[in-house]
């Protein structure tokens, strides 16, 4: 008897663990059930991917969607829609909202807010404080939690665990890998006096290389002392990559498209506050080192740190301007442009945005095109040239630091659990996102 399927993706170049191949992918019940060659008559729907690349769904494991409390900047619905339009199939959202996600009740509130509103699959971080270490073990075991986030240096919001004793207490309270914003708060506070009014170039003086390096050195020592796994976010310095190269036993590493694409001083001269983020975009030598580390395998994950602010806030003179830029919708076009420019291979892009997050966070059933996995696909046209514009980006803030960027490589379809969410630049299914499942928190099967 001939097998039948819900959907067949035909005639595309499929990027799977075995490499790139011209094969079809068959989907049934939201899962990949077969890879090979199939007749269109075997499926209720066929998608002709001739000339296109079918990638595992891109996962953005660091975003700030600002809800609750800061919905004038962004919200779960608008930013998830922006993600889907950019070819992203799942996002992990940060805890520095208002109120912060520091209790089981607040984590449950975010999950409830996401139901029926977020177009993409999602998970939420638990935020660590000095006061809630007793709750973190419970929170990291909750469905829909991707782990604990620790701010060692202050950024947007009031979450902060800046001292060694506090960081050690957090690490001892948890079992899963924790994510860290690693900048030394003591040094940041001391150097705040070096901020020059109206001069964004001074951002890299205030938040200098040593603020990042000294914090990451302390963090690695504490991770080894406690025997715990850490994920160090948005690495921005050459010196940190030297440390992290020798710490693969305890530390996984993230870099951002912004740090791989923009460089000081040009970005601050051109974009001013719209280039301001924490840790800052630094000089070219650091960007060169990040690329070397990425292609040497030191980097495990690329994510965006999508962190929108209202345009009028970003127009304030430094240092009154807030740090953070949107990036979830531009993620795939920016990185595919780097692929086309020879900065990394398409296989490496997939490792960093699908297989890498799956491995680092222990995601269940996602991250690769293989039988039995969720039918999550980012379908891209590697040859398509488009100009990124503010009109195209649909984040609520309405701006992007990449306005006018000439991209080569473009997302043309976002498929989540076998359902088209974006097709040819249009949202085709709204509010269908579900919580991401993790190996360490799988629910027992019912008898």
Maximum Cα–Cα distance for the chain, whole Å?
75
Beta bridge partners of residue 125, listed in sequence order: 147
Enumerate residues 6+ apart whose C-beta is below 8 A from 37: 23, 24
Residue 264 three-state SS: strand
β pairing state of 88-93 and 58-63: parallel
Enumerate residues 6+ apart whose C-beta is below 8 A from 353: 58, 59, 60, 301, 302, 303, 331, 335
Strands of 209-359 (E only): list them: 230-232, 251-255, 301-302
Phi, psi of 6 (to 5 degrees): -75, -40
State how far Cα 333 lies from the chain centre.
14
Question: Distance between CA atoms of 123 and 90, rounded to whole angstroms?
Answer: 8
Question: Distance between CA atoms of 93 and 316, rounded to whole angstroms?
Answer: 26
Secondary-structure breakdown of the chain: helix, strand, coil percentages, each rounded to the nearest 5: 35, 25, 40
Q: For this structure, is 75 an active site residue?
A: no
Contact 415, 57 (CB under 8 A): yes
184, 305, 374, 376: the active-site residue: 305
Beta bridge partners of residue 28, listed in sequence order: 31
Contact 319, 274 (CB under 8 A): no
| Per-residue b or e along 299-326, where b marks 16 or more CB atoms closer than 10 Å to that residue's CB | bbbbbbbbbbbbeebbeeebbebbbbbb
Quick one: tokens of 151? 């701010």
Question: Distance between CA atoms of 25 and 296, rounded to whole angstroms?
Answer: 31
Residue 60 three-state SS: strand
Give the active site residues: 305
């Amino acid at each position: 008897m001939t097998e039948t399927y819900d959907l067949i993706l035909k005639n595309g170049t499929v990027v799977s663990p075995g490499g790139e191949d011209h094969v079809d992918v068959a989907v049934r019940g939201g899962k990949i059930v077969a890879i090979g060659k199939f007749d269109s008559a075997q499926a209720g729907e066929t998608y002709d991917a001739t000339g296109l690349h079918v990638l595992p769904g891109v996962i953005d494991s660091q975003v700030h969607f600002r809800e609750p409390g800061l919905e004038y900047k962004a919200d779960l619905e608008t930013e998830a829609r922006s993600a889907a339009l950019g070819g992203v199939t799942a996002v992990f959202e940060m805890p520095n909202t208002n109120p912060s996600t520091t209790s089981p009740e607040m984590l449950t509130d975010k999950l409830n807010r996401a139901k029926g509103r977020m177009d993409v699959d999602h998970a939420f971080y638990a935020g660590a404080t000095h006061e809630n270490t007793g709750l973190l073990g419970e929170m990291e075991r909750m469905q829909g939690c991707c782990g604990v986030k620790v701010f060692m240096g202050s950024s947007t919001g009031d979450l902060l665990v800046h001292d060694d004793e506090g960081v050690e207490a957090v690490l001892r309270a948890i079992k899963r890998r924790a994510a860290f914003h690693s900048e030394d708060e003591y040094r940041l506070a001391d150097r705040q006096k070096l901020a020059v009014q109206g001069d964004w170039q001074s951002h890299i003086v205030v938040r200098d290389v040593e603020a990042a390096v000294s914090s990451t050195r302390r963090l690695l020592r504490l991770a080894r002392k406690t025997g715990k796994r850490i994920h160090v976010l948005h690495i921005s310095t050459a010196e940190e990559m030297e440390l992290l190269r020798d710490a693969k036993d305890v530390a996984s590493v993230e870099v951002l498209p912004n740090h791989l694409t923009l460089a000081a001083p040009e970005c601050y001269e051109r974009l001013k506050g719209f280039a301001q983020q924490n840790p800052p975009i630094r000089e070219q030598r650091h960007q060169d080192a990040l690329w070397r580390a990425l292609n040497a395998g030191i980097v495990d994950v690329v994510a965006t740190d999508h962190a929108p602010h209202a345009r009028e806030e970003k127009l304030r003179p430094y240092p009154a301007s807030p740090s953070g830029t949107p990036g979830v919708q531009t993620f795939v076009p920016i990185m595919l442009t780097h692929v086309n420019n020879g900065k990394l291979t398409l296989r490496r892009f997939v490792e960093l945005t699908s297989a890498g997050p799956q491995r680092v966070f222990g995601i269940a059933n996602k991250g690769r095109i293989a039988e039995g996995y969720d039918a999550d696909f980012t379908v891209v046209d590697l040859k398509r040239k488009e100009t990124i514009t503010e009109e195209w980006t649909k984040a609520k803030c309405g701006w992007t630091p990449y306005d006018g960027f000439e991209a080569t490589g473009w997302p043309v379809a976002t498929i989540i659990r076998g359902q088209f969410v974006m097709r040819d630049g249009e949202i085709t299914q709204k509010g269908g996102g579900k919580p991401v499942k993790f190996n360490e928190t799988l629910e027992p099967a019912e008898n």
